[in-house]
Chains A and B, each alone.
Chain A
Amino acid sequence: GQQVMQIPQYQHVQEGEDFTTYCNSSTTLSNIQWYKQRPGGHPVFLIQLVKSGEVKKQKRLTFQFGEAKKNSSLHITATQTTDVGTYFCAGPTSGTYKYIFGTGTRLKVLA
Protein backbone atom coordinates (compact mmCIF):
# COMPACT_ATOMS: atom_id res chain seq x y z
CA GLY A 1 0.00 0.00 0.00
CA GLN A 2 0.92 3.64 -0.18
CA GLN A 3 3.52 4.76 2.33
CA VAL A 4 4.57 8.21 3.42
CA MET A 5 7.92 8.27 5.16
CA GLN A 6 9.60 11.16 6.91
CA ILE A 7 13.24 11.67 7.77
CA PRO A 8 14.77 12.17 10.17
CA GLN A 9 12.66 10.54 12.86
CA TYR A 10 14.23 12.72 15.55
CA GLN A 11 16.25 15.93 15.41
CA HIS A 12 17.87 17.86 18.24
CA VAL A 13 19.17 21.32 17.39
CA GLN A 14 20.59 24.25 19.30
CA GLU A 15 18.36 27.27 19.38
CA GLY A 16 19.18 29.42 16.37
CA GLU A 17 20.18 26.53 14.13
CA ASP A 18 18.20 25.58 11.05
CA PHE A 19 16.08 22.43 10.74
CA THR A 20 14.73 20.47 7.79
CA THR A 21 12.39 17.49 7.60
CA TYR A 22 11.74 15.53 4.44
CA CYS A 23 8.59 13.71 3.40
CA ASN A 24 8.66 10.97 0.76
CA SER A 25 5.70 9.17 -0.75
CA SER A 26 5.76 5.87 -2.62
CA THR A 27 3.18 7.29 -5.04
CA THR A 28 2.35 10.66 -6.61
CA LEU A 29 0.33 12.96 -4.40
CA SER A 30 -2.32 15.35 -5.65
CA ASN A 31 -1.51 17.63 -2.75
CA ILE A 32 0.29 17.56 0.58
CA GLN A 33 -0.44 19.07 3.96
CA TRP A 34 1.83 19.77 6.91
CA TYR A 35 0.79 19.62 10.57
CA LYS A 36 2.53 20.39 13.85
CA GLN A 37 1.81 18.53 17.09
CA ARG A 38 3.14 19.98 20.31
CA PRO A 39 4.05 17.50 23.08
CA GLY A 40 0.83 16.23 24.66
CA GLY A 41 -1.26 18.12 22.12
CA HIS A 42 -3.12 17.48 18.91
CA PRO A 43 -2.03 18.12 15.31
CA VAL A 44 -2.57 21.62 14.02
CA PHE A 45 -2.69 22.41 10.32
CA LEU A 46 0.19 24.49 8.99
CA ILE A 47 -0.15 24.59 5.20
CA GLN A 48 -1.21 22.82 2.03
CA LEU A 49 0.78 22.56 -1.21
CA VAL A 50 -0.90 21.63 -4.47
CA LYS A 51 1.27 22.55 -7.44
CA SER A 52 4.39 20.76 -8.64
CA GLY A 53 7.48 22.64 -7.45
CA GLU A 54 5.43 24.94 -5.24
CA VAL A 55 7.20 26.85 -2.49
CA LYS A 56 5.37 28.62 0.33
CA LYS A 57 6.73 30.58 3.26
CA GLN A 58 5.32 31.33 6.69
CA LYS A 59 7.71 33.60 8.55
CA ARG A 60 10.67 31.31 9.39
CA LEU A 61 9.05 28.21 7.82
CA THR A 62 9.55 27.30 4.16
CA PHE A 63 7.56 24.49 2.57
CA GLN A 64 8.36 22.90 -0.76
CA PHE A 65 6.54 20.38 -2.96
CA GLY A 66 8.71 18.33 -5.29
CA GLU A 67 8.53 18.55 -9.05
CA ALA A 68 7.34 14.95 -9.29
CA LYS A 69 4.83 15.53 -6.45
CA LYS A 70 6.21 12.58 -4.52
CA ASN A 71 8.20 14.47 -1.92
CA SER A 72 8.05 17.56 0.18
CA SER A 73 10.16 19.38 2.73
CA LEU A 74 9.75 21.77 5.63
CA HIS A 75 12.65 24.03 6.54
CA ILE A 76 12.77 26.15 9.68
CA THR A 77 15.29 28.96 9.81
CA ALA A 78 16.81 29.97 13.14
CA THR A 79 14.82 27.61 15.35
CA GLN A 80 13.23 28.80 18.57
CA THR A 81 12.08 26.83 21.60
CA THR A 82 8.50 27.39 20.45
CA ASP A 83 9.24 25.23 17.39
CA VAL A 84 9.45 22.10 19.58
CA GLY A 85 7.04 19.37 18.52
CA THR A 86 6.43 16.71 15.93
CA TYR A 87 5.94 17.72 12.31
CA PHE A 88 3.79 15.53 10.10
CA CYS A 89 3.14 15.58 6.40
CA ALA A 90 -0.10 14.10 5.07
CA GLY A 91 -1.26 13.21 1.60
CA PRO A 92 -4.25 11.54 -0.05
CA THR A 93 -4.01 7.92 -1.06
CA SER A 94 -4.18 7.14 -4.74
CA GLY A 95 -7.70 6.98 -6.07
CA THR A 96 -9.29 8.07 -2.81
CA TYR A 97 -9.41 11.17 -0.67
CA LYS A 98 -8.49 9.61 2.64
CA TYR A 99 -5.36 11.19 4.02
CA ILE A 100 -2.37 9.16 5.13
CA PHE A 101 -0.04 10.76 7.63
CA GLY A 102 3.71 10.47 7.47
CA THR A 103 5.73 8.94 10.28
CA GLY A 104 6.59 12.37 11.68
CA THR A 105 9.79 14.15 12.69
CA ARG A 106 10.18 15.04 16.35
CA LEU A 107 12.08 18.28 16.84
CA LYS A 108 13.75 19.24 20.09
CA VAL A 109 15.32 22.67 20.44
CA LEU A 110 17.99 23.14 23.08
CA ALA A 111 18.21 26.61 24.58
Chain B
Amino acid sequence: DGGITQSPKYLFRKEGQNVTLSCEQNLNHDAMYWYRQDPGQGLRLIYYSQIVNDFQKGDIAEGYSVSREKKESFPLTVTSAQKNPTAFYLCASSIDLMGAEAFFGQGTRLTVV
Protein backbone atom coordinates (compact mmCIF):
# COMPACT_ATOMS: atom_id res chain seq x y z
CA ASP B 1 0.00 0.00 0.00
CA GLY B 2 1.25 3.48 -0.81
CA GLY B 3 1.27 5.92 2.03
CA ILE B 4 3.09 7.80 4.71
CA THR B 5 4.11 6.09 7.94
CA GLN B 6 5.01 7.66 11.24
CA SER B 7 6.49 5.81 14.18
CA PRO B 8 6.08 5.38 17.00
CA LYS B 9 2.43 6.25 17.60
CA TYR B 10 3.07 7.15 21.25
CA LEU B 11 6.37 8.30 22.70
CA PHE B 12 7.40 9.21 26.21
CA ARG B 13 10.51 11.20 26.91
CA LYS B 14 12.24 12.37 30.01
CA GLU B 15 13.07 16.03 30.31
CA GLY B 16 16.50 16.85 28.91
CA GLN B 17 16.53 14.01 26.39
CA ASN B 18 16.55 14.27 22.63
CA VAL B 19 14.10 12.08 20.73
CA THR B 20 13.69 11.33 17.02
CA LEU B 21 10.36 10.81 15.30
CA SER B 22 10.32 8.75 12.16
CA CYS B 23 8.48 9.62 8.93
CA GLU B 24 8.65 7.45 5.82
CA GLN B 25 6.69 7.74 2.56
CA ASN B 26 6.55 5.48 -0.47
CA LEU B 27 4.49 7.87 -2.61
CA ASN B 28 7.57 9.16 -4.46
CA HIS B 29 6.75 12.66 -3.25
CA ASP B 30 9.39 15.39 -3.39
CA ALA B 31 7.97 17.61 -0.64
CA MET B 32 7.69 16.66 3.02
CA TYR B 33 6.54 18.56 6.09
CA TRP B 34 6.42 18.40 9.86
CA TYR B 35 3.58 20.01 11.80
CA ARG B 36 2.88 20.30 15.49
CA GLN B 37 -0.66 20.22 16.86
CA ASP B 38 -1.56 21.16 20.42
CA PRO B 39 -4.89 20.14 21.98
CA GLY B 40 -7.81 21.93 20.40
CA GLN B 41 -5.55 23.93 18.11
CA GLY B 42 -4.52 24.07 14.51
CA LEU B 43 -1.38 22.83 12.81
CA ARG B 44 1.83 24.81 13.03
CA LEU B 45 4.65 24.25 10.55
CA ILE B 46 7.98 23.17 12.04
CA TYR B 47 10.10 22.32 8.99
CA TYR B 48 9.54 21.50 5.35
CA SER B 49 11.64 20.04 2.58
CA GLN B 50 11.24 20.53 -1.13
CA ILE B 51 13.85 18.02 -2.22
CA VAL B 52 16.53 15.68 -0.91
CA ASN B 53 19.32 17.38 1.06
CA ASP B 54 17.31 20.58 1.34
CA PHE B 55 14.97 21.79 4.07
CA GLN B 56 13.60 25.08 5.37
CA LYS B 57 12.47 26.32 8.75
CA GLY B 58 8.79 26.78 9.32
CA ASP B 59 7.17 29.04 11.89
CA ILE B 60 8.22 27.17 15.04
CA ALA B 61 11.58 25.53 14.21
CA GLU B 62 13.37 26.44 17.45
CA GLY B 63 14.27 23.32 19.44
CA TYR B 64 13.77 20.99 16.47
CA SER B 65 16.06 19.61 13.77
CA VAL B 66 15.48 17.54 10.63
CA SER B 67 17.40 15.78 7.90
CA ARG B 68 16.49 14.73 4.37
CA GLU B 69 19.16 12.30 3.24
CA LYS B 70 16.70 10.13 1.33
CA LYS B 71 13.65 11.09 -0.67
CA GLU B 72 11.39 8.79 1.30
CA SER B 73 12.54 9.76 4.79
CA PHE B 74 12.23 12.98 6.81
CA PRO B 75 12.98 12.34 10.51
CA LEU B 76 12.34 15.01 13.12
CA THR B 77 14.48 15.35 16.24
CA VAL B 78 12.96 17.08 19.23
CA THR B 79 15.90 18.40 21.20
CA SER B 80 16.20 19.26 24.86
CA ALA B 81 16.14 22.92 23.79
CA GLN B 82 12.42 22.61 22.95
CA LYS B 83 10.81 24.03 26.06
CA ASN B 84 7.35 22.54 25.68
CA PRO B 85 7.61 19.44 23.49
CA THR B 86 4.48 17.61 24.60
CA ALA B 87 2.22 17.64 21.52
CA PHE B 88 0.86 15.67 18.58
CA TYR B 89 3.32 15.64 15.68
CA LEU B 90 2.14 15.16 12.12
CA CYS B 91 4.27 14.42 9.09
CA ALA B 92 2.95 15.05 5.59
CA SER B 93 4.10 14.78 2.00
CA SER B 94 2.99 16.12 -1.37
CA ILE B 95 4.12 15.74 -4.95
CA ASP B 96 5.71 19.16 -4.78
CA LEU B 97 5.38 22.49 -3.04
CA MET B 98 3.27 23.97 -5.85
CA GLY B 99 -0.04 23.59 -4.07
CA ALA B 100 -0.50 19.83 -4.35
CA GLU B 101 -2.66 17.83 -1.98
CA ALA B 102 -0.87 16.85 1.22
CA PHE B 103 -1.03 13.30 2.59
CA PHE B 104 -0.64 12.98 6.34
CA GLY B 105 0.73 10.21 8.49
CA GLN B 106 -1.12 8.89 11.52
CA GLY B 107 0.85 11.13 13.84
CA THR B 108 3.09 10.64 16.89
CA ARG B 109 1.88 11.73 20.30
CA LEU B 110 4.90 12.84 22.32
CA THR B 111 4.68 13.22 26.08
CA VAL B 112 7.46 14.55 28.28
CA VAL B 113 7.49 12.93 31.71
Contact = CB atoms under 8 A, between A and B. Distances in A.
A and B: interacting chains:
yes
Interface of A: 1, 6, 30-31, 33, 35, 41-45, 48, 50, 88, 90, 92, 97-104, 106
Contact of A33 (B48, B50, B101): B101
B9 to A, nearest CB: 11
Nearest to B103: A45
Contacts of B43: 43, 88, 101
A46 to B, nearest CB: 9
Contacts, number: 56
Contacts of B99: 30-31, 33, 48, 50, 92, 97
Interface string B16-52: 0000000000000000010100001111110010100
B104 to A, nearest CB: 4
A97 B35 contact: no
Interface in B68-106: 90, 92, 97-99, 101-106
B103 to A, nearest CB: 7
- Report, as a range, how many residues of chain B touch the other chain: 20 to 34
B108 to A, nearest CB: 11
Interface of B: 33, 35, 40-45, 48, 50, 56, 58-59, 90, 92, 97-99, 101-107
Contacts of B92: 43
26 contacts: A6-B42, A31-B99, A35-B102, A42-B105, A43-B90, A43-B102, A44-B104, A45-B101, A45-B103, A50-B99, A92-B99, A97-B50, A97-B99, A98-B33, A98-B45, A98-B97, A99-B33, A99-B45, A101-B35, A101-B42, A101-B43, A101-B44, A102-B42, A104-B41, A104-B42, A106-B40
Contacts of B35: 101
B97 A48 contact: no
